[in-house]
Amino acid sequence: MTKPRKVAAIVNPCAAGGETTRRWPELANLLERSLGPVTPRFTQSPGAGMTIAQELLRSGYDLLVAVGGDGTINEVANGFFEDDRIICPEARLGILPLGTGGDFRRTLGIPQKPVEAVKIISEGVPLLIDVGKITFQANDGKPESRYFVNMVSFGMGGHVAARAKNSLRRFGGKTAFLWATLVTFLSYRGRQVKLRVDANPAGLSFLVANVAVGNGQFHGGGMRPCPTAALNDGLFDVTVVDYAGAARLIRSMPVLYSGEIYRHPKVHHLRTSTLSAESTDLTQIEVDGEALGRLPLEVSILPRLLPILISPSSPLVIP
C-alpha cells in the first residue's frame, strides 16, 4: 500500500483474556518497525473504539489498526462511518487479531501470528468490502442502529453471546463462550420467526434454532454457517437452521463447522440485500459476536465501502 501519513492503533486491553495488555510493548515495537511511528489509543469501555476511530479519522489519520477481537474490529469499523457515509475515503483499516473468536479474520485470510498479520498491514492492498447496517431493539427497549462487517445472527447465536457476556467475569473469554454454548444447546427452544427478504417481501415463517446473516463466513469461534458468503458481492448469505430438538442439534455440530451446512435437511439458504425479522418470542441477536439486543430487526447493505488491508496474494483480490 502507499505509505500512510499517520498511523494509530486502537487497542482493546482486555482482548485475549487481558493478554494484550501484557504483550503491548512487544506488539507496538513490531508495528513501528514496519509502519513507523504509531499512536496507541486504548479502549476503556464498550463502544469506545467507535468514538476513538472517528476522532482519529477527523484528525487526519489514514491507517487505523484494530488490535483485538471481532468486537474491537466492529467498533473500529463503525467509527469509519457517519450517516452511512465513510468519513475519510483515503483511510484504511488494518487488523491485528488477538481476540477469543477470530472469526472475521478467517474470511479475510489474516493469520493469527502477529508477525504475519503486521506484514499484511504493512504490505497489503485495500479490499473494498460490503458493510451491513442493522436496526434492532436494544436491551433497554429502544431502537438502535449499528454497522457490521462479519455476521449477524439471532436465535441460538444471540442467546449464546448474551450468556457468554454475562459469564465473562466468572469464567474468562473462551471458557465463558464454551459454557454458554453448552447451556444454550441443552436449554434452547425454537423461536417462531418471520423473515422478509428481497425475493419474498410477503414473508417466510420458520421455527428456528438459528438464523445467520453473513457478510463473512464464520462465527461462534470457527463455525461456518455461511460458507459461500463473499465480502464484496452486494448480497448477504442467510442461513436458516430449523429447530429440531436439543439432541439433533448436538448431533449436527460437526456439520456447522465443516462448511457443508447446506447439505443438512434442516437448513435453508437464501441470498438478499435486505432482510427484516420479527418474532412474538424473545429472540436475542448478536452483531459481530457482541450481544446487543433482540428482534425485531432490519438489515441492509452498503456495497464496497470499507477498505480493509489484505494480503496482495489473497484470492479475494480482484485482478
C-alpha cell at 260: 457443508
With a cut of 60, say whether residue 212 has pLDDT above it.
yes
Binned at pLDDT 50, 70 and 90, residue 202 comes out as very high
**Tell me: the pLDDT tens digits for 167-177?**
554 544 556 56
pTM: 0.93
Q: Could you tell me which of 138, 218, 203, 279 has the C-alpha nearest to residue 239?
A: 218
Q: Is 272 helix (H, G, I), strand (E, B) or coil?
A: strand
Q: What is the mean pLDDT of residues 101-124?
A: 95
**Tell me: the pLDDT tens digits for 242-273?**
998 877 777 777 777 788 999 999 999 999 99
Binned at pLDDT 50, 70 and 90, residue 315 comes out as very high
Q: What is the mean pLDDT of residues 158-163?
A: 76
Any idea which residue has 438464523 for its cell? 211
With a cut of 50, say whether residue 12 has pLDDT above it.
yes
Q: Is 92 helix (H, G, I), strand (E, B) or coil?
A: strand
Q: Could you tell me which of 82, 83, 91 has the C-alpha nearest to residue 4?
A: 91
Domains located in the chain, CATH noted: 7-123 (3.40.50.10330), 132-304 (2.60.200.40)
- Which of the 8 DSSP states describes residue 189? -
